[in-house]
Structure formats: C-alpha cells, structure tokens
Structure 1
C-alpha cells in the first residue's frame, strides 16, 4: 500500500514539475511577444485551485495532472475587440508564433540540463564499473572478473550505469564496439566486443545478460542458504557455509559453482569442497550427482542453493564541481537526446519491441517511486530524462502536439499563406487518432509489464 501511495505521489510531483516548466515556456515567450495570456493551467478538468493575478492571467491547478495548457487570446476561439486584436495569437507574425510554440519543448530541454547539473553537483551514488562475471560474448572478447571498464566505444564510463547506457544502444544495433579496460594488475587494454553476434531476438531490458556481462556488485556470495534433502550435500554441508574452493579451484562467487561442479561431475569421483564455517576452514569430501532439471536437461549438482544476498553497497559517486558540471550536463543532454531519437527510430523500424519503448502512467509512477527511494540525485536523473522525453516527443510532427503546429507554420512560411482551416481540421483528427493510439499503447504496456508479468 505504501508503494502505491508513494508511486502516485511521485507521479504527481514529477508531472507537475515537467508540465509547469513546459507551459511556462509557452507563457513566458507569449508575454514577451505581446500576446495576451488568459489562463495558465497545470492539469485538465475541474479546477482545484485558481487565482487571477495582477497581470489578468487566471492561474489554475486542475484535477487531472496529466498535462496542462496556456490559453491565449485568439480570434479562432472567441471574438476579439478591434482594440485588442494586436494581442491575439493568430495575429502575430509566423516567426513569433513559431517561437511561442517551440518555447514549451525548449523549456523542457533547459530543465533537463538544469536537473543534470544539480545531480552532478550533489553527486549520484553508483557502482564502480568493475566486471564481476563474464561469459558468452563478454568472455570471448577477453573480459575477465576484476577488469575495470573505463570506456565503451570511446564513451567514458565512470560508473556501472554508464557501462549499461553505452552498451545497450550498440547491442540493439548489433554493432561491434571497442571496450577499454584497466586490468586488475593495473595494465590497460582494449577488447573488441562482437555485439553483431547477438541473437536476433533478445529482451531489451536484459541486454547485459545476453552479452554475458555482470558487475562486481551483482555477484552473489557463495554462501549456502538451503540444502536439498537426499542430495550429496545433505549431512555434509550446513546452511551458512561459505564455499571457498571446489577440487582445488577457488570460488569467489556463487556463479563459479555450477561450472566447477559440472567439471567435477564429468571427471567423476569425489573431491574436496572447502568451506569457511563460522571462521573455521574445513575440507569436506563430496561427489556431485547428475539429475534432470524441470527444463528436461540433465546437470551435475551438489544440492545447495544460495543464501539471500544483502543489498550491495554503492562504491562509486558520479560528481562534478559547479563549474565542471555545466559542460557535463550539456554533454549528457546531447548524448541522451541522440539516444532517445535513435530509440524512436528503432521503435518505428521494428528493431525494438514497442512494449519496451512507450511507457504509461503506471510504469512512470513506479519508476518515479523507485528512483525517489534511491535518493535525490537519482530522482533528479529520472526527472531530467522525463523532461527530455517530453520535450523531444512534443517536437514530433504530429498535429495537436507542438511539433504539428510548427509543421503548419513551416508550410505557411514556404507557401506564403496560412494552412487552410479545412487542412488544419483534418490534421487535428489525424493527430487525435495518433495520440489516442499512443495512449492506448501506453496503457496496454502498463497492463502487460506491470500486471500480467
């Protein structure tokens, strides 16, 4: 119940901030262009609060917090007295109208930069970019446990999140990339990660699993949590034992155990399993047994399961000074803009599943609550990405959105006269249909991703 209330609260806070800045962009530029603003509303529907300012603008907070609007004086909506026509939006030169319309998305882009700057100054706790486990393509590239990833495809990776953000788009494009590492012995090297060999169908949310790469923080300690009855480990190992070696091969994490047990089983016979039991080092004799799993495949096992791991501690902080944070925030905004535009292109081309690209309010609410639990810096990161997404999506040339209006004005500039009302009306219907389709897809994704799975 607390998670539900928290999700709703942080959704309202997030959308409230983003919508307010977006609409303020329209409002501020409209006022500077001499256009009279009648209403500034955050939210739709019945007003929960309203006040008329000294400037004559009605400021409103409405009941449905899924958007907002700035209502301006416009002859297309209401009769305008001749003395006030110069303040009407529709009477403005086309370049002024374009500036007013573009101001909303631009405000969101500027907000993104400001939020990222603040995040860098505060410092975002993260995990060090140290490899904890490598198999599959990662192991074939030569990545090993203990390697510190310093750059992916020329992009610096000071944290594990940066490693993920650099690898995901290249993996989706099936593009081979160089990975710069610092080895555990202090030497530097470059590994060629052959992402072109990834299978055609992978879960975009589990790209690193498909690559075979896991961070040091993902490692599960090789501590026994449960012993299955009537198995080789029953009566020999105990819950709480920390496995340190199997048949002379060291064990550093739980992920080391299956391959060592498999190798021991293929060899045949018994071997010594070394454990740390409450500070006492023991060597216990065990022989694995081959059993059939639920999938139908047979495997060699000891009959043990891992103990529930404690949450890993964040051992890195992404932080810059106030001056250094300015170019860092600008560069991050440019980088994320490129990735977002590329992701939209992948969605339209069918290279990524639409259920993983269009998020509805439930998904956004849960993400906002999760990021808020991680701390202020992480919440600012999420808010910045939402602001960037809102700005970019509003620039799409879809009627009703700001980008659709800009398209009309570009046509007007090209032909020397406004788009006909008939064409604009047709465009509005098309835009409504597209927006309704996107909203339907977003709610469908919410149901599939949050309720069905």
Structure 2
C-alpha cells in the first residue's frame, strides 16, 4: 500500500476504533442511567451507513472520520413527549450527567490500558539502549561508546525508545539529570548529563542529536559502498568489503575508520587494513594520502564511502507475561498521562514549543509507520492516541467533555444550572478555541511536510 493511501487507511482505522470506544462510553452509561439515546454516530457529516436498533437508537457511520457523537434526548434541543421527559438528559441529576459525560474519556483511558496490556503480552521488538557515539554534552558528561542506558532521571529505560523519550522530555526543561549506565565492562555508574548546556532556542525535535548522542543501531556498518578513483583504496578495496580492523585495531562501525586512517597517515607509512570479502578474510596494505577538498581543511584519506544505511535487526524485546503485564500497563498509562499533562503545561508556559502539537496529517503518517513496524508497535501507537483523545476531551474547553464537566461543577457549587445565555456564549468561545487549536495543528503538520 502506498504511503498516502496507507496513511489514510490506518488513520481511518485508528480514529474509527478510538472514537467508537469513546462514544460507546457515553452511550453505555447514558442507557444505564435511564437516558434515551437518539443517535450513535462514528464520524460527522453525511451518513454512509445507518441502522435503527430495537432500542430506538439510530447507529450511523458518517463520511468525515475525525470524531463522533452520541445524541441524547434533551428538552433544550427539541420537543420531548411528556411520557419520555424522565428519559431526557437535561432532567437527570447533576452527578448522573457528570458520569455520562466523563464516561467517554474514561473509556479511552481503559482502552489505553487494555492496548498496552496486549502490547506487553505480544512483545514489542526494539533496540537495546546502547550508546554508539558520544560527543559534545554527552561526551563531556562522561557517556561513551558501549554504555547501556539503564535509567534516565530515575526512569527505567529497558529499550532505546524509552531512553530516547525520557531524554527528549527532560531536555525540554534544560536541567541537568542523572543517567545510570552500565559500561562495556559491565560496571554500573551514574553520569550527570548537563542538559542545561543546550541552546536556549534549540530545535526540541533534535534534542538527542544536539546533546551529542548517537545510538548504536544508528551507526553505519563498516562496509565499503564506493571507492574514489585516484586514491589509495582504488584497485585495492572493493565495494561490499567489510572493514574489520585497521593496523590491528578492530573496527565496529564506519565512523571509526576516519580517526584510524588519520592516525595511520600521521604515522607516515603504510598500514594493514583487514576486510571480509565473499567469506574470505584479507589483509591489504594501504598508505593514506593527504587530501585537500575545495572547502575545508586537509586530511588523510584512502578514498572510500559507506554503503547505503540499512536498519539492523532488533536486539531487544519489551515483553511481560499476562499477569505481569497488568501492573506494567497501568504504570505505563500513568507515566504517559503524566508526560502528556506535563507537556501541555510546558506549552502553556512557553517552555515547550507549540510545534509539538500535531494534527491529523501527522497522526496519519505515524499510524501508517507504526502499522508497518508490526502489531506491537501499532498497539503502542493506538494506546498513546487513545490516551491523548481522553486528555484532550478533558480539557476545560466548552463543546468538549471537559467543558461540560466544568459547567456541571459550577452547577454543583452554585446550586443551579448555568443560564442558557452563559452556556451559549461558552459554546462560541469553545468553538473559537478549538478552531485555533486545530488550525495550529494543521499548520504544524504542513510545516513538517515542507521540511
């Protein structure tokens, strides 16, 4: 499936599933509270499919799959037969109305836990959190090649995904943190990562790179991809050769070749380069030459370039048994919720860029990408999206669930409902706020595509 069609398809699948659960939460509690439900719609706009159930509810799948709604009997929205007045939403006690409105976000929260539980049981393949290269802030903080990141700021990091998320999140605050590592010799130590040294207006999406960290799985393998004519490697090495050692020093990645070639050139004579070629191990003699590019300083060169990068196989698996997965899913949900609320707070205070706010285009792209990585990754994406849907709906913005809950809390305090005029004014304010948020999200999506 092409990138565009795949993105559209998986976005529809993702939002359709999450919206259905959200609206079913409202529906289930409303029905058990004695409220009559007139319509259960997944999507907005023109109905593509509809059916009326025995309970009198019209079930609809509509054309625009970016939301949904449950329409309940309500005297404020139309005439209600006297015999059905007790089934009207507006006639229910305030605590019952709160329960009905809160049931949607709660359904998404429970779905998040269920999806994470399934993900943990299935097992999500990932990469070990091993440092491949450290420079700049990371190197100055004592991190080095081969270190396995065990915890970031007290948060365990069993895989690189967890380590990267923890590092990127704490980097927003630009504060120094403790990173617990296990070095290549198996010794554990705590490094003080100086994130306060990050630039004030740095690109928060490039936090890991700017702190000078490259994970091991991002390093290029030491495989020759091209050879420049007229330089020492021409006629000696061949495309596809895997460099295993230079002058007796083992080579594990392509970035190690450059410094070893410089050392060999500074020594002033030829050295031996060991390679694997078609299953054979060869030792070849090469003497670097001084190369002066048109731009930049001179350096010792042998004239090779790396092969095209390919993602290495996963070397870690995040998995729990069915029983252990229950508390793990609950903890992960709590951690994701805490991170999400903290990010919202950072954006409101200006510490986090509003570019972190994403819209449907980014959601579609991530849905397609996660589906391509396998079931466990897609479940992880769905869980995060379900939690995000719950949190967004709880924001105290009129027309969202959180806005209605705010109305009902005010009603509890003052002892009577808000006036129709106040509620209508709130709806207009809510529409304006929601339109602004959606506009900003679309703008960020388009800007990201252009970049």
With the shorter chain as reference, the TM-score category is: over 0.9
Give the equivalent residue in structure 1 for 2:347: 347
Give the equivalent residue in structure 2 for 1:178: 178
1:375 matched to 2:374? yes
Following superposition, the deviation at residue 391 of structure 1 comes to: 0.4
Given that 1:368 and 1:382 are in contact with CA atoms closer than 8 Å, whether structure 2 keeps it comes out as yes
Given that 2:176 and 2:194 are in contact with CA atoms closer than 8 Å, whether structure 1 keeps it comes out as yes
CA distance in 1, matches of 2:272, 2:32: 77
Correspondences of 1:202-213 after superposition (within 5 Å): 202-213=202-213
Give the equivalent residue in structure 2 for 1:284: 285
CA distance in 2, matches of 1:273, 1:445: 52
Correspondences of 1:226-305 after superposition (within 5 Å): 226-246=226-246, 249-262=249-262, 267=266, 269-272=268-271, 274-278=273-277, 279-292=280-293, 296-298=295-297, 300=299, 302=301, 303-305=303-305
1:113 matched to 2:91? no
Give the equivalent residue in structure 2 for 1:411: 410
Instruction: Name whichever of 2-11 and 17-26 sits farther off.
Output: 2-11
CA distance in 2, matches of 1:304, 1:347: 46
- What's the TM-score once normalised by structure 1's chain length? 0.94
Deviations 1:25-71 (A, max 9, x none): 11111112111111100011111111111111111111111100000
Give the equivalent residue in structure 2 for 1:439: 438
Following superposition, the deviation at residue 3 of structure 1 comes to: 2.0
CA distance in 1, matches of 2:232, 2:417: 82
- Structure 2 counterpart SS, 1:298: coil
Q: Is there any run of 5+ residues in structure 2 with no aligned partner, and where?
A: none
Correspondences of 1:378-397 after superposition (within 5 Å): 378-397=377-396
CA distance in 2, matches of 1:415, 1:259: 73
CA distance in 1, matches of 2:129, 2:114: 26
Q: Is there any run of 5+ residues in structure 1 with no aligned partner, and where?
A: none
Give the equivalent residue in structure 2 for 1:36: 36
Instruction: Name whichever of 414-423 and 116-125 sits farther off.
Output: 414-423
Instruction: Name whichever of 299-308 and 164-173 sits farther off.
Output: 299-308
**Change over 3 Å in CA distance of 1:56–1:184 after alignment to 2:** same
- Structure 1 counterpart SS, 2:70: strand
Correspondences of 1:115-134 after superposition (within 5 Å): 115-134=115-134
Deviations 1:84-141 (A, max 9, x none): 2111111111111111111111111111001000100111111122222222222222
Following superposition, the deviation at residue 287 of structure 1 comes to: 2.5
- What's the TM-score once normalised by structure 2's chain length? 0.94
Following superposition, the deviation at residue 186 of structure 1 comes to: 2.1
CA distance in 2, matches of 1:273, 1:426: 79
CA distance in 2, matches of 1:178, 1:347: 24
CA distance in 2, matches of 1:16, 1:273: 61
CA distance in 2, matches of 1:258, 1:288: 13
How many pairs were matched up? 448
Following superposition, the deviation at residue 2 of structure 1 comes to: 1.8
CA distance in 2, matches of 1:40, 1:249: 68
Give the equivalent residue in structure 1 for 2:399: 400
Deviations 1:392-427 (A, max 9, x none): 011111111111111111111111121122221111
Correspondences of 1:89-168 after superposition (within 5 Å): 89-168=89-168
